Amino acid sequence: MLAAVALGLTMAVAGGVFLYKLMPSVPSVESIRDIELKVPLRVFTIDGQLIGEYGDYRRSPTHIEDVPPLMIEAILAAEDNNFYDHPGVDFKGIARAFFANLRSGGHGQGASTITMQVARNYFLSREKTYTRKIKEILLSFRLEQELEKNEILELYINKIFLGHRSYGFQAAAQFYYDKPLNELSVAEIAMLAGLPKAPSRSNPLSNPKSALDRRNYVLRRMHELDNIDLPTFELATAAPLTAARHASLVDIDAPYVAEMARDYIYEKYGDRAYESGFQIYTTIKGKNQVAANEALRSGLLAYDRRHGFRGVLTHIEPDAIEDNDALNGILRNFVSSGSLQPAMVIAADKDVIKAYAPDLGEITIDSEGWSWATDDPSTLLKVGDVVHVTPRDDSNWWLAQIPEVSGAMVSLDPRDGAILALVGGFDYYLGKFNRATQARRQPGSNLKPFIYSAALENGFTASTLVSGAPIVIDDPVEGTWRPENYSGKFYGPTRIREALTQSMNLVSVRLLRAMGLQVVLDHLQTFGFDRDQLPKGLSLALGTATLTPLEIASAYAVFANGGYRVEPYYISRVEDQNGEIVEYSNRVKICEECELSELEQATNPDRPDPRYARQVLSPENTFLMTSMMRDVIRVGTGKKAMELGRNDLAGKTGTTNDFRDAWFSGFNDQVTATVWVGNDQPTTLGKSESGARAALPIWIDYMRVALDGIPEKPLEAPENVVSTLVSRETGEAVPPGSANAMTEYFIMGTEPQLDPNQSNLVRDGNGGNQKNVQDLF
């Protein structure tokens, strides 16, 4: 008897010493209160629509009060129905598991409560040893002493692994069912509640039969515990599996912007960016981005159709295909791109093409959908050919192909530089090169407005006559060359307004030569252009600089906003996983009422909000240039844009030599947008593929949506601008009632006067007379 007591005391002392040594290694409850869940980086539009998610953990932290009661009951029925009654540890279960493991000679069976699972998942390893189990019990007691039951349950609901990189029940609901928790059916709730037991081995995607058995077990337990009644139990048990993979779902397709945001935050925070739950709200507007995506893709597909069918992807012998499942597997190996998907031709005659596509079944392509490629489909295609198809509308299809041509589009709010939409190519997933921000291409005539703006700053007016006759340039930098107009025609003396409207190259060259290269370079630099990217010869007049679409759009914003230089930006704010703002855009915005001294202080990049934009172009110059570019759309190379039915649009086409680049940039006072179309390797787009044909339709399709609901704003002349009747042929002032007269605008003091002795003369900015402009060339 004494020996037994002594043995008991010895074991108690030994156990006490063991626990005493073990306690320091058990984490404190304070550390669990402060823990940050590993939450992925998410990128949103300004209006809260998801455009990107990055990180190894799918997790959406949820407060316990936002979890449906039935979900909680299902979890408890599956894992721990005595959760609200026990002290954190189920001693009967532990004893049962202990003896079972002794009999089996292993550590396979456990008896973990939800509290113990929280302890293990947050702080302890997954090893199955008795030492770890004892630590788990000690920490569970601590948790129960320091935390409320619902706090423990909330930690469990957000932490537990549920398969396929999904951590927590909200993330699992999104992954398996594409729903939030509060929209799940009873059967779906039971499925998720059953996952913690074997999330990798028995989830509905990896092992549907095992997952179905586990779901039905949870439903039986819920019925036994009176969580659901008999009809509900029977209906849920009979429900089919509806789980599917819903990975990386986004609300709006904006991968180029999402990647820009990801790169920015990673540069700042490193790997922590992917697990700290940062939420980046970009400046992108949802409807603008959708419109930009559709406009660019539609425009590039239209270009592609104009240049003919390049051939089928491959040919499959129909007899070698066992069934539709086998065919689906074959077709899914071919590249898809957005709405373009591979299909196999099953019939082709002179009237229609019939094809089979996965998830679509049999589709019919009528003559409108194939006539771009051939006069007779039976001579172009045969049964077994694999092609791409894409919807033409809700019920009709195009024969299609992934374009080889590239393009980009970027749109800004000119009032502060916020990027409203950005698309860097036809398909990000076929090539991640962001042409909107990285492709340096020649803008051609898209650069002319900035040269004409310089001319207005240097004594020229909108009615100044400049020769459009042939010219030979002997340039010490660029050698001898002969510029030509896009049309190949030559013109006589032409008013500057008319020259810009019709995009006359020879007038632009003469203007640049008259002003001097350095004067023009200085002026272009005020729009934000990098001087190093601008040529040092007269070819600058033809747009031979190398610029990105974003740089072009940013410069056009100066015209759109009244002459202020704003800085493009795409991140509005960054929040942590708790919704606290950790960073926001210290943007530069317009302040028309600010004094110059105030503006000079406010443009300091280190100054906190507000920062104000510096005015780099006079209101008079801005007004005149906007008026001239409105004529580009009204009667010039951009007149196709008149189909929008608006009078507040201004812009300029751009086409480079041999049709290698096609541009259109345009704006009103609230939206600026630039479109570029070209091949990644600068080669010709083909004859007549000018800015007006290849780029302008994309701009129109975008602006139709972007300007919807935005009222027109009339262009108001500054006080220092006057209007005068002038002759369309000579640019001279003419009296009212004169034939072929038009109203022209001038900065006060530069307007021509009704004086025969000053015919065809232009006043300089001081009101004096300048030599006949034609004599300068």
Catalytic choice (79, 144, 259, 457): 79
pLDDT for position 578: 83
Banded model confidence at residue 109, pLDDT cuts 50, 70, 90: very low
**Distance of alpha carbon 66 from alpha carbon 181, whole angstroms:** 9
Reported residue count of the chain is 777
**Distance of alpha carbon 565 from alpha carbon 262, whole angstroms:** 27
Whose tokens are 């479109």? That residue is 675
For residues 246 and 6, the answer to whether their CB atoms sit within 8 Å is no
pLDDT for position 469: 87
Task: Tell me if residue 432 falls in helix, strand or coil.
Answer: coil
For residues 197 and 191, the answer to whether their CB atoms sit within 8 Å is no
Does 768 have pLDDT greater than 50? no
Banded model confidence at residue 454, pLDDT cuts 50, 70, 90: very high
Does 160 have pLDDT greater than 50? yes
Each residue's pLDDT tens digit, 318-335? 887 878 888 888 999 999
Banded model confidence at residue 19, pLDDT cuts 50, 70, 90: very low
Name the helix (H) or strand (E) containing 364: strand 361-365
Each residue's pLDDT tens digit, 537-549? 999 999 999 999 9
Banded model confidence at residue 644, pLDDT cuts 50, 70, 90: very high
Question: Which of 203-217, 603-617, 729-743 shows the lowest per-residue confidence on average (mean pLDDT)?
Answer: 603-617
For residues 283 and 418, the answer to whether their CB atoms sit within 8 Å is yes
Whose tokens are 């049309």? That residue is 487
Each residue's pLDDT tens digit, 647-659? 999 999 999 999 9
Q: Mean pLDDT in the chain?
A: 86
CA distances from 348 to 323, 334, 369, 382, 775 (A): 21, 21, 13, 6, 67
**Distance of alpha carbon 108 from alpha carbon 20, whole angstroms:** 27
By percentage, how much of the chain surpasses pLDDT 70? Answer: 85
Each residue's pLDDT tens digit, 389-409? 999 988 899 999 999 999 999
Banded model confidence at residue 27, pLDDT cuts 50, 70, 90: low
Does 354 have pLDDT greater than 50? yes
For residues 408 and 439, the answer to whether their CB atoms sit within 8 Å is yes
For residues 70 and 189, the answer to whether their CB atoms sit within 8 Å is yes
pLDDT for position 55: 83
**Distance of alpha carbon 634 from alpha carbon 142, whole angstroms:** 77
**Distance of alpha carbon 641 from alpha carbon 271, whole angstroms:** 47
Each residue's pLDDT tens digit, 513-540? 999 999 999 999 999 999 988 999 999 9
Annotation marks residue 478 as catalytic: no
Q: Which residue has the higher pLDDT, 121 or 259?
A: 259
Name the helix (H) or strand (E) containing 725: strand 721-727
Does 140 have pLDDT greater than 80? no
pLDDT for position 589: 81
Catalytic choice (166, 202, 445, 453): 445
For residues 266 and 40, the answer to whether their CB atoms sit within 8 Å is no
Annotation marks residue 79 as catalytic: yes
Each residue's pLDDT tens digit, 300-314? 999 999 999 999 999
pLDDT for position 522: 96
CA distances from 190 to 68, 74, 159, 178 (A): 12, 6, 18, 16
Each residue's pLDDT tens digit, 258-285? 999 999 999 999 988 888 889 999 999 9
**Distance of alpha carbon 674 from alpha carbon 174, whole angstroms:** 37
Q: Which residue has the higher pLDDT, 34 or 355?
A: 355
Each residue's pLDDT tens digit, 674-711? 999 999 999 999 999 999 999 999 999 999 999 999 99
Does 192 have pLDDT greater than 70? yes
| Prediction pTM value | 0.84
Task: Tell me if residue 173 falls in helix, strand or coil.
Answer: helix
For residues 283 and 419, the answer to whether their CB atoms sit within 8 Å is yes
Contacts of 421 (CB under 8 A, 6+ apart): 254, 284, 285, 288, 289, 291, 292, 409, 410, 411, 673, 702, 706
For residues 39 and 276, the answer to whether their CB atoms sit within 8 Å is yes
Does 455 have pLDDT greater than 60? yes
**Distance of alpha carbon 678 from alpha carbon 660, whole angstroms:** 6
* N-terminal to C-terminal alpha carbon distance within the chain: 125
Strand 279-282 with 41-44, pairing: parallel
Q: Which residue has the higher pLDDT, 69 or 5?
A: 69
